[in-house]
């Protein structure tokens, strides 16, 4: 795609003001996700003895096309419309998460999904980008006009955390709390308040440990037994793949991995394509996260600074959790790898997150920055 600098059309202005490097990295991650969907789908639908099919891969192609549209459309939004959109999205995500808790389908003891025929939607996935934008709005108002942004941000966080813990979804809760604490830190919250928030987060973690047996089991297994069954298989997949992998479709450990198309897609990448592809995925996430943080830090508008940082952390930290679990450096937790794992809800939510991040960090003509 190429446009003249003198072209004043909306698409040309979008092209010259957006972070094209981050966009290219994300599109590369989506392409990698499609390749891995075809690698993991036979394992997710069959076994080493029974031939699987490519149903998940074909669905992922449709999900990826939709996600690409979501990413581009949201990246076109201006700051005012972003705030309005985030407020509506947060309200709808809270309502949807509440409905999933009360009457949604149950999977492994959790109530996180709303079913629409053959399609399942996880509304809580959309809480993260919406919360980051709204928190940035309130905290920026605090920096500009003395508005009690910290208090309003914590009040906004409370119902989301409550619903997530009731579903239960400890991983999403932890990610949302990390986003909140990071944004409060960036806004200049005193250290003693951050320490208090850290203590409160520790209490929530203890509550989750006591009240949810599966959380207790995974943490106990991680600290006492070291590598568990799931992560042990993942490590064997990485070991089998070595530097260059065993080749597309040649993996065998993937047939024994739980959820090879979602939670352990990184291990499938390691087995069939080796350290080369795993390293590339990690580098791409690093580039996207760091570029968004740097562009946000160079902005003069506090809203852009905070929103860009919060959205970058949402993407980067989720990727870190997924890869960390696969590499056995974190306790097992069902969390997808952004842009790569199979799933409509996950892919749509991270596309929305990145689209909003690209929108807020656009270097518009009326700002002092210049597009690279």
Q: Does 261 fall in a domain?
A: yes
Q: Tens digit of pLDDT for each residue in 114-142?
A: 887 777 889 999 999 999 999 999 999 98
Q: Does 333 fall in a domain?
A: yes
* Angle 45-47-48 from CA coordinates, rounded to 5°: 145
Q: Does position 109 have pLDDT exceeding 70, yes or no?
A: no
Task: Give 74's contacts (C-beta < 8 A, 6+ positions apart).
Answer: 85, 351, 352, 355, 356, 358, 359
Can you give the pLDDT at residue 316? 95
What pLDDT band is residue 290 in, cutting at 50, 70 and 90? very high
| Cα–Cα dist 255/45, whole Å | 9
Burial class (CB within 10 angstroms; exposed 0-12, middle 13-18, buried 19+) of 283: exposed
Measuring CA to CA, which residue among 129, 188, 131 is closest to residue 157?
A: 131
| Cα–Cα dist 94/100, whole Å | 10
Q: Does position 43 have pLDDT exceeding 70, yes or no?
A: yes
Instruction: Determine the average pLDDT of the residues in 180-187.
Output: 92
Which of 84-88, 163-167, 198-202, 228-232 is the most confident on average? Answer: 84-88
First CA to last CA distance, the chain: 16
What pLDDT band is residue 15 in, cutting at 50, 70 and 90? confident
Q: Does 6 fall in a domain?
A: no
Average pLDDT for the chain: 87
Measuring CA to CA, which residue among 126, 234, 136 is closest to residue 187?
A: 136
What pLDDT band is residue 368 in, cutting at 50, 70 and 90? very low
Judge if pTM exceeds 0.75: yes
Q: Does 7 fall in a domain?
A: no
| Cα–Cα dist 319/333, whole Å | 12
What pLDDT band is residue 370 in, cutting at 50, 70 and 90? very low
Q: Does position 332 have pLDDT exceeding 90, yes or no?
A: no
Can you give the pLDDT at residue 111? 82
Place of tokens 């905070």: 306
Can you give the pLDDT at residue 105? 67
Can you give the pLDDT at residue 171? 84
Q: Does position 169 have pLDDT exceeding 90, yes or no?
A: no
Asked if 308 and 294 touch (Cβ cutoff 8 Å), the reply is: no
* pLDDT, greater one: 167 or 316: 316
Domain containing 307 equals: 25-360
Can you give the pLDDT at residue 91? 96
- How many independent structural domains does the chain possess? 1
Question: Among positive and negative, which fits the CA dihedral 32, 38, 42, 48?
Answer: negative
Q: Does position 275 have pLDDT exceeding 80, yes or no?
A: yes
Asked if 312 and 304 touch (Cβ cutoff 8 Å), the reply is: no
| Cα–Cα dist 325/333, whole Å | 7
Task: Give 214's contacts (C-beta < 8 A, 6+ positions apart).
Answer: 108, 109
Q: Does 300 fall in a domain?
A: yes
Q: Does 72 fall in a domain?
A: yes
Q: Tens digit of pLDDT for each residue in 92-107?
A: 999 999 998 887 666 6
Q: Does 371 fall in a domain?
A: no
| Helix (H), strand (E), coil (C) string for the chain | CCCCCCCCCHHHHHHHHCCHHHHHHHHHHHHHHHHHHHHHHHHHHCCCCCCCCCHHHHHHHHHHHHHHHHHHHHHCCCHHHHHHHHHHHHHHHHHHHHHHHHHCEEECCEEEEEEECCEEECHHHHHHHHHHHHHHHHHHHHHHHCCCHHHHHHHHHHHHHHHHHHCCCHHHHHHHHHHHHHHHHHCCCCHHHHHHHHHHHHHHHHHHHHHCHHHHHHHHHHHHHCCCHHHHHHHHHHHHHCCCCCCCCCCCHHHCCCCCCCCCHHHHHHHHHHHHHHHHHHHHHHHHHHHHHHHHHHCCCHHHHHHHHHHHHHHHHHHHHHHHHHCCCCCCCCCCCCCCCCCHHHHHHHHHHHHHHHHHCCCCCCCCCCCC
Asked if 261 and 16 touch (Cβ cutoff 8 Å), the reply is: no
Q: Does 17 fall in a domain?
A: no
Q: Does position 39 have pLDDT exceeding 70, yes or no?
A: yes
| Cα–Cα dist 339/281, whole Å | 10
Can you give the pLDDT at residue 58? 95
Dig out the tokens for 113 from the structure: 């999904």
């Amino acid at each position: 795609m190429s446009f003249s600098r003198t072209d004043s059309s909306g698409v040309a202005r979008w092209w010259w003001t957006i972070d094209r490097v981050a966009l290219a990295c994300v599109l590369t991650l989506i392409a990698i996700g499609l390749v891995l969907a075809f690698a993991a789908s036979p394992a997710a639908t069959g076994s080493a003895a029974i031939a699987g099919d490519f149903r998940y891969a074909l669905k992922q192609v449709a999900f990826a096309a939709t996600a690409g549209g979501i990413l581009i459309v949201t990246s076109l939004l201006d700051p005012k419309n972003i705030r309005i959109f985030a407020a509506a999205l947060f309200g709808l995500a809270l309502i949807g998460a509440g409905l999933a808790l009360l009457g949604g389908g149950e999977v492994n003891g959790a109530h996180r999904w709303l079913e629409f025929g053959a399609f399942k939607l996880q509304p809580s996935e959309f809480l993260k980008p919406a919360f980051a934008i709204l928190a940035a709005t309130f905290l920026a108002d605090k920096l500009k006009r003395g508005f009690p942004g910290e208090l309003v941000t914590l009040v906004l966080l409370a119902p989301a955390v409550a619903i997530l813990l009731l579903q239960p979804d400890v991983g999403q809760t932890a990610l949302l709390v990390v986003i909140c604490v990071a944004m409060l830190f960036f806004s200049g919250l005193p250290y003693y308040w951050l320490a208090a928030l850290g203590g409160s987060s520790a209490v929530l973690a203890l509550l989750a440990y006591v009240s949810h047996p599966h959380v207790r089991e995974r943490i106990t297994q991680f600290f006492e037994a070291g590598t568990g069954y799931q992560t042990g298989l993942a490590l064997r997949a990485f070991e089998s793949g070595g530097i260059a992998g065993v080749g597309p479709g040649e993996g065998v450990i993937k047939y024994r991995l739980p959820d090879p198309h979602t939670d352990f897609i990184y291990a499938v990448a390691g087995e069939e394509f080796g350290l080369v592809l795993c390293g590339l995925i990690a580098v791409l996430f690093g580039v996207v996260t760091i570029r968004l943080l740097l562009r946000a830090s160079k902005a003069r508008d506090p809203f852009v600074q905070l929103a860009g940082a919060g959205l970058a952390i949402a993407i980067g930290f989720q990727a870190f959790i997924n890869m960390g679990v696969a590499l056995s450096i974190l306790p097992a937790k069902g969390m997808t790898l952004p842009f790569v794992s199979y799933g409509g809800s996950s892919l749509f939510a991270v596309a929305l997150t990145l689209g909003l991040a690209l929108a807020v960090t656009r270097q518009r003509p009326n700002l002092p920055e210049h597009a690279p």
